[in-house]
Amino acid sequence: MTTIGFIRHGQTAWNKEGRVQGSSNVPLNEEGIESAEKLANRLADQQWDMIFTSPMNRAKHTAELIASRMPDVSVEEDSRVRERSSGLIEGTTEQERVQKWGPGWRGLDMQFESADSVVARGLAFVEEQIRINPGKRILVVSHGSFIKRMIAVLLEDEQYAVTIENTSLTVIEVENKTCTLLNCTAHLTGGANGD
């Protein structure tokens, strides 16, 4: 059984300001680093075989902090698990979008990467892991929008399409479409360290 643990990167200044990041390369802020370190401590005693990360700095830094507590696990970048490109709205807040394009901006062509494109590359990544790393436990450090889409598609159930919190852990047994942990941030609240 191939198991994938999806992790959203730690917080950034843009997260805090409500700015769309998409493919913008925004670094972790101090709180993001601290939260990622707490997650790394939580995962240190668990058995994970490999870590893949989005090439974006916020995800890579999170992955590197996690790997620092797992001496036998390396980090590999894979562009298929990057965040969806948000086109013209990257770097903006909702208020700025309304000021610039009006309240109906969602109906305009903002040059987003299509949801189908995001799902296609995500599924290609997952299918490759099932094929070349069967039965392994794989961590994937990625982004909220990407993870939200992948969870719903892999479990074939839209009820799992929840807002994904920074440094949350979602664990899916891929072949039998079972979610054993969803959007868990127990490491931030002093809750249980296990999954």
Q: Which residues are catalytic?
A: 9, 83
C-alpha span between 182 and 168 (Å, rounded): 8
Residues 6+ positions from 122 with CB-CB distance below 8 Å: 80, 81, 146, 149, 150, 153
Q: What is the DSSP string of 151-176?
A: HHHHHT-GGG-PPPPTT-EEEEETTT
**CA 156 to mean position of chain CA atoms:** 18
Please name the residue that has the structure tokens 């390369």.
Answer: 25
Is residue 77 within 8 Å of residue 67, measured between CB atoms?
A: no
Tokens found for residue 143: 């982004």
Is residue 59 within 8 Å of residue 71, measured between CB atoms?
A: no
Please name the residue that has the structure tokens 């969806």.
Answer: 84
